Every structure is written in C-alpha cells, then in structure tokens.
Structure 1
Amino acid sequence: MKTHLVLLMLALPVLAAGCYVQEGPPPPPRHVVAYEAPPPPPPPQVDVITVSPGPDYVWIGGYHRWNGRAYYWVPGHYERRARRWR
C-alpha cells in the first residue's frame, strides 16, 4: 500500500503537467474592407402616364437606379397584371 502511495506521489506531477494548455498567439487581424454608401437619390422625376394598352395592364412608376457610380432614371411603364389563381 505504501509503495502504491509513493508511486502515486511521484507520478502526480508528471500527470498534472500534461493537463496544462498554453494558448498560442492571437490570430492575425482579418482584412477589413470599407464600403462607402452611395449618396441619396435625387427627387423623383415626373412620369407622363399614357393611356393603358388594355384592361389587364397596371402602371409601374419610374425610379432612380444606382449603377455603381451614379443614379439614372428608369422610366415608368405598363405591365400586364398578374393572373389570380383560384
């Protein structure tokens, strides 16, 4: 019994030394990309709404679209109304 106790006392520091985990250096910072928000669009232009080509058509108003460098005006147009499924 004493022999086991002595062996345990001798082995304890060796066993405990394996339990220590040393943290490595912190990871390098990631590459940061800064994006600049585009300016707000100009006020809407006046669209001239023409006569509808038929009763199934609905007017879609024009809008400013950003192309990466500047806004450009997309004029309004008529589109065929979606069918309703019953």
Structure 2
Amino acid sequence: MEVNMVSGTSCSAPAFSGFVTLLNNIRLAKGKTLGFLNPLLYSHPEAFEDITEGDNDVNGDGYGWQCTPGWDPVTGLGTPNMGRLMEIVKAME
C-alpha cells in the first residue's frame, strides 16, 4: 500500500461534508434536520480550534496566508472540533 500526503480543499471539503452528514444523522434520530448550517456554526465558535501558527506558503516564496490568532481564512472560524460539534447538536431541541 502506497501512502501519499495530500492537502487543500480537495481533501477538506469531502471530510467536512462527511462531518456534516454525521451531525445531521444525530438530528435525524430526533426527527429533525440541521437545516441551514451557518447559524449553528457561527453561534458556536467554541466548537472550533483557532489555528495560530503556520502558513500556506507551499512554494516557499513568501506568498500565502499567515495564521493569526482570532481569524482563519474562508470561514473565520478555525478547524472544527467534531466532538464539541456533536455535543452541541445532541443538546439542540
């Protein structure tokens, strides 16, 4: 078996969609769905890890985004903590 390193949205998008499916399954067990996801995500910043070190300068030429405390590109939220998100969704009415 050959193992290769991969990165980027081609990996993160399918992974996050799988997370959302698992979260929606928790809701479906209660006869409900998540619905529009943004209000849930943005009202629970504690369910995300703030990435504060590193960058995406893949070419080593000084271009790219530097990680900074309190803000992450694309969503501004950070990396999802699936355990915390599951707890939040389980507690929803």
Question: RCO (CA 8 Å, sep 6+): is it higher in 1 or 2?
Answer: 2
Q: Which has the higher helix share?
A: 2
- The TM-score, its normalising length taken from structure 2, stands at 0.23
Q: Point out the structure with max Rg over C-alpha.
A: 1
Q: Which has the higher strand share?
A: 1
